[in-house]
Amino acid sequence: MRKLGVNIDHVATIREARKTFEPDPIEAAYIAEKHGADQITTHLREDRRHIQDRDLRLLRETVQTRLNLEMAPTEEMIAIAKSIHPDEVTLVPEKREEVTTEGGLKVDLEGLEDVISRLKSEDIFVSLFIDPDNETIKKSKKMGVDAVELHTGYFANATENNRDKEVDRIQDAAAYAKKQGLYVVAGHGITYYNVKYLNKIEEIVEYNIGHSIVSRAVFAGLGEAVRLMKQLIVSR
């Protein structure tokens, strides 16, 4: 059965907008797991714009499924991964000015192979977030990763006219990655509206989804949240 990894970063984004205690990403992870999430993903960014170091420590203590830490391949992050010991690390590119992760990791990056082997020697399952491209997959495999996460952002941004082409590209890459013996994940920009186009790609064994789930959660709960506040005001 295909698995669902839930990225809880956007819960922390709302909290950090006020630098307060709510909403709590730890509680978000707990609720996600209670409702079927197979894995919790979180990205500790260099600028700490959403998830904080304390969140990561608490997630490590509380997540009951698998904790997937997305991180840039930097010395600071390697040290954090070694001390927190997530079940999985997904290496991603990171630029301070980007709104979100914009493209796959450049696998020719100097020192990447060494980063992978240092993480693997800690018994951490290592994945690379890459563009759906066979040459990149081949290089990833050679560097010893366990998994690849195929970047679905291009597909998510495609117009109706070129969506099929993007789906085919992901399909080909997923089939190739599976043939290489890699665990195949897909993520970025997957929504309640577009996931149906990817579902036919059987080689994808896991999705990583964040923004769309958190967006849906806001409206799934907004009515109840207003009702409760109204109740507090009128029953004073």
Is 183 in a helix, a strand, or coil? strand
CA atoms lying within 13 Å on the CB side of residue 47? 10
CB of 234 to ligand PXP, least distance (A): 38
Strands annotated E in 77-220: 88-91, 125-130, 147-151, 183-187, 206-209
Catalytic annotation present for 102:
no
- Residue 85: φ, ψ to 5°: 55, 65
Q: Residue 175 is encoded by which pair of tokens?
A: 């089939």
The binding track of 57-76 with respect to ligand PXP, each residue x by CB under 6 A or -, is -------------x------
Q: How far apart are CA 55 and CA 92, in angstroms?
A: 19
Which window, 134-142, 176-184, 202-210, 220-228, contacts ligand PXP (CB under 6 A)? 202-210
Interacting positions 73-102 with ligand PXP (CB under 6 A)? 90, 92, 100-101
Binding flag, residue 210, ligand PXP (CB under 6 A) = yes
CB of 183 to ligand PXP, least distance (A): 14
Picking from 52, 47, 73, the residue whose alpha carbon sits closest to that of residue 8 is 52
Q: How many residues bind ligand PXP (CB under 6 A)?
A: 19
Among 187, 197, 204, 206, binds ligand PXP (CB under 6 A): 187
Is 207 in a helix, a strand, or coil? strand
- Binding site residues, ligand PXP, CB under 6 A: 7, 9, 43, 70, 90, 92, 100-101, 129, 149, 187-190, 208-212
